[in-house]
Amino acid sequence: MNDGSGAVEQIRGAFARAITDIGAVDGVPMLRLRKQDVPAVARYIHTDPHLRGSLSLLWAVDHRPREARYELCYLFTLAERKDWLLLSVDLTGGEREFASITPVVHAAKWYEREIRDLFGLIPVGHPDMRRLVRHEHWPKGSHPLKKDFGWDQVLGRMQGEYAFRKIHGDGVFEIPVGPIHAGIIEPGHFRFSVAGEPILQLEVRHFWKHRGVEKLFEQQRLTEAVTLAERVSGDTSVGHSLAYCQAVERLLGVTVPPRARYLRSIFLELERLHNHIGDVGAICNDTAYALAHAHCGRMKEQLMQLNDRLTGSRFLRGVNTVGGVSMDLSGVQLSQVDAELQAIEQEFAGIEKILFANASLTERLENTGVLSEHIAWDHAVMGVVGRASGIDRDLRRDRPFAAYHECQPTVAGYRYGDVRARMRVRLDEVHDSVRLIHALHRQLPLGPLMVQPIRNPSPGEWAIAAVEGWRGEILYVVMAGAEGRIHRCKVRDPSFVHWPAIQWAAVGNIVPDFPLINKSFNLSYAGNDL
């Protein structure tokens, strides 16, 4: 249960006339506002020294056909206690305009552009009204998350050109990279403005393969969409499916059995392990340190083969289900996990010593791709990237889920904000994940693996769930529709927050260092482009 009553009273004292209603949704305090007052209240929450709220999520809902209105919801995480606070505003009748908060809360920039593209709602006062998700070949008036837009509608193709931001001056030129790359990665376009070697500006242009995931959720039943959640970002199958399951379980009144909660945490930490070890190796590879890359690649492969032996999936797909987990781990299997992780951790510790003794590697990593704490906080950065820039947030500790009430992590944290700090967060979390898995095994209770739903939610009820995935916070908002179906499912992978931030980390570096900076963030194209 969220305890934001003090914040509500403080805001009510400052903005009594702006508030039309005070309530709670899924245990989160909510203030319903007049739409013209949202920017002032948002700025107050963001800047007040007692609140210091960062914008964790901004989403829209088309309530038709049940109600003829749109709703905008703003979820803030308050700095001190990590409590959540919701703001809400309605657009009724023919209203399509709402006041942009981007000029005062910079983290809202992509959210508001996304809402404009997908719902046709206009953020008045937004400093950048270019299309984000709907590239220029989309026909005008096509807004796929409106309820009158068919999920299988085939669109024609228009001609258009994206207007990149230009820097003018003597010796300034542009280097376009992508969207098609030489490596086996998804499409993304990076446009560098440089003068000599230093980067003056980086503009990221993504959303080349929009899949309509949130629209596809609306065609699913609440209990049947786990498979779709697993495929939002393929390297985060456990994190996304767990966040989805937790939101639906709140709607269905399900209390997950203790053994299932512990197994969920074990699988989540296994997912964190193989991704972090792979990332450490990839960072080394981008400094031409092939030996460390080879060893980390080998250890990552060992972990993925372990995943396959345990669950039948290298990416741990199919383990989560609404109400619990779909498979158990025997005592023999858990003992094998302990033994393999102990051996891998010893090897990894040896590689770690070599890394820190390598002066040339340190020189490449230190002061490269610095993301300052101020910029990180202003853009609501969290997860690995945030913890490397002084942002002390980890949902496993701050809003415990699964079995993290009983087995708490040791939260890594650095303040330098450079590539080395982001790698050190991963190094620390590798060791802590091994510790957590051992502890979860020792405390693993007996009992059932899942339970059945005990209630049917009414149309319009919704719940929000958060999971600390290996990249950072994964958020799901699930709203029930008629006959057990999904009316709205809002998904936020941490990559959606961090792609705008990487543009700041690149400035002042040289273009050859960008692959290293990019790898230290290691963001998902698919998780960003739903």
CA–CA gap between residue 428 and residue 398 (Å, rounded): 18
pLDDT at 2 over 80: no
pLDDT digits (tens, 9 = 90+) for 88-122: 999 998 899 999 999 999 999 999 999 999 999 99
* Nearest-10 Cα torsion for 466, 96, 144, 236: -20
pLDDT tens column, 182-229: 777 889 999 999 998 899 999 999 999 899 999 999 999 999 999 999
Question: What are 32-73's pLDDT values in tens digits?
Answer: 999 999 999 999 999 999 999 999 999 999 999 999 999 999
Q: What is the mean pLDDT of the chain?
A: 94
pLDDT at 26 > cutoff 90: no
Domain-wise residue ranges, the chain: 5-124, 213-528
Residue 364's pLDDT band (cuts 50, 70, 90)? very high
CA distance 85 to 57: 11
At 314-339, the pLDDT tens digits run: 999 999 999 999 999 999 999 999 99
Segment 277-298 shows an average pLDDT of 94
CATH of 213-528, one of 3.10.310.10, 3.40.50.2000, 1.10.645.10, 1.25.40.10: 1.10.645.10
Query: Is pLDDT above 70 for 149?
Result: yes
Top-confidence residue, 154 or 501: 501
Question: DSSP labels for 93-136?
Answer: TT--EEE--TTT-GGGHHHHHHHHHHH--EEET-S--S-SSS-T
Check pLDDT > 80 for residue 503: yes
Q: How much is the pLDDT for 44?
A: 95
Beta strands in 282-382 (DSSP E): 320-321, 324-325
pLDDT of residue 81: 80
Query: What is the Cα–Cα distance from 72 to 191, expressed in whole angstroms?
Result: 32
Residue 94 confidence (pLDDT): 86
pLDDT band at 4 (very low <50, low <70, confident <90, very high): low
Q: Do domains 5-124 and 213-528 have the same CATH topology?
A: no
User: What pLDDT is stored for residue 27 in this prediction?
Assistant: 87
Specify the pLDDT at position 1.
39
Least confident of 178-187, 230-239, 518-527: 178-187
What average pLDDT does the segment 369-375 reach?
96
Model pLDDT, residue 125: 95
Instruction: Tell me what percent of the residues of the chain surpass a pLDDT of 90.
Output: 87
The residue count of the chain comes to 530
The topology under which CATH files domain 5-124 is Beta Polymerase; domain 2 (3.30.460)
Q: What letter would DSSP give residue 484?
A: G
